[in-house]
Structure 1
């Protein structure tokens, strides 16, 4: 059977997301979880709850430059993208922020992350991806940490998958290869967060499967305010909790695996 990884993003953002992810981990429906290490819940309870599932999935840092968790004003994604394209990112400040988030991750989880990605994929932006690679090589020499790249599994996919590819995904993938840092082989899970027929999306992504492919998801058990994709999170959770999901994997001769074990 072909091994693939399914990663749920945004752990520690709110209780509905955390409950959904922990439940899906308990039922073996995920193989990776990406975490906000500076969210208030990470330190108070989320990290401790996740430690109960050590060994079941890769646990990584969801590097964050845009989410303030209702406590602090953060720049929007468009502002961060524009600044990066205009070469306006402050390298020293970025490095300190990444180190701060890694420190918080390790303090909560008790060990370094298995991987690093970015909230809204900020880790791949110009001026940011270089810092991510530098920090990994300096901070974790010899440790097999992988980094998400967003090069679409199917080159024919249009719209958002191509935007991500050309907004740093392709360059990051090349940089990872040069640096000898492991990464996924093909990326899926990108859509408009507007599909009640999420299973149809998932089936389309599986049609592009290759060993080591990574599918991103955003499940939650309930809707929380101040989350623009909150309702779609519940749609995703219901799919991953259903029998249709494992049946779909089995029919395609696929198995969930930790990406750290297959790339």
Structure 2
């Protein structure tokens, strides 16, 4: 059985996402959860509810530069453009990362098991260098893994390749040079427009290798301010179903915490 990790992103974004993630954790169908530590309900509701699963799954920071939770925030395209033009302010990026790490630790009561990025901003030029600097300074005595987005199957085209060349491959090389743990292959990238999500998941499992990380975005219900709300519900229904467990078994894969594979 090939051990892989399954990580749900966007915890604390809204109650539907939290409910879906918590239920799937209770069923043993997730092994990592990535959290918005500056979301309005993180400290008071989301983090306390998640603490019961700290021994069951890796709990990490979903570093965020583009979601304002009602306040102004730059668009993803704006952040990408600034990254490509090398015009991101390194002091502001570092201050924001430190702020979000502080909020994570204050709410959850321990250091994050891993760090990734909302819309993968952590891998962009001008951000990944700050990330490695902060990890080295802040977590020298802790094993923390960082998500890389290099596709598990090099033949996958479209969005997976865009992520690879939008900093994913560079981050993977930087992590290796810095001896920071990371996943071995990445999956879960698609256009959030597939009614047959199970078919997508099977394609990803076809590329399973020890240490592969699959990201997902489940939720029990759709919220109107969420662009991928309907797809979240489809993902949740799949992961809750017997079909999901049957597919894992048929594909000779099992879910584990990535931290248990990179130690």
TM-score, normalised by the number of residues in structure 2: 0.99
Answer yes or no: is 1:78 the counterpart of 2:86. Answer: no
Distance, in Å, in 2 between the alignment partners of 1:223 and 1:90 is 35
Structural RMSD (CA): 0.5
2:28 counterpart residue number? 28
The within-5 A match list for 1:109-148 is 109-148=108-147
1:234 counterpart residue number? 233
1:47 counterpart residue number? 47
The within-5 A match list for 1:213-224 is 213-224=212-223
Distance, in Å, in 1 between the alignment partners of 2:244 and 2:211 is 18
Answer yes or no: is 1:11 the counterpart of 2:27. Answer: no
1:60 counterpart residue number? 60
Distance, in Å, in 1 between the alignment partners of 2:127 and 2:107 is 24
Alpha-carbon offset, residue 142 of structure 1: 2.7
Distance, in Å, in 1 between the alignment partners of 2:177 and 2:155 is 26
Structure 2: unaligned runs, 5 residues or longer: none
Distance, in Å, in 2 between the alignment partners of 1:236 and 1:201 is 11
Distance, in Å, in 2 between the alignment partners of 1:66 and 1:178 is 28
2:260 counterpart residue number? 261
C-alpha offsets along residues 151-177 of structure 1, whole Å, 9 cap, x if unaligned? Answer: 000000000000000000000000000
C-alpha offsets along residues 200-258 of structure 1, whole Å, 9 cap, x if unaligned? Answer: 00000000110000000000000101100000000000000000111111111111000
Distance, in Å, in 2 between the alignment partners of 1:247 and 1:213 is 19
Distance, in Å, in 2 between the alignment partners of 1:225 and 1:74 is 19
SS in 2 for 1:40: coil
SS in 1 for 2:41: helix
Alpha-carbon offset, residue 2 of structure 1: 1.1
Distance, in Å, in 2 between the alignment partners of 1:43 and 1:58 is 18
Distance, in Å, in 2 between the alignment partners of 1:225 and 1:88 is 33
Structure 1: unaligned runs, 5 residues or longer: none
Answer yes or no: is 1:107 the counterpart of 2:103. Answer: no
C-alpha offsets along residues 95-121 of structure 1, whole Å, 9 cap, x if unaligned? Answer: 110000000000000000000000000
Distance, in Å, in 1 between the alignment partners of 2:150 and 2:253 is 21
The within-5 A match list for 1:159-178 is 159-178=158-177
Distance, in Å, in 2 between the alignment partners of 1:41 and 1:25 is 19
TM-score, normalised by the number of residues in structure 1: 0.99
Q: Which runs of 4 or more aligned residues in structure 1 lie more than 4 Å from their structure 2 counterparts after TM superposition?
A: none
Aligned length: 262
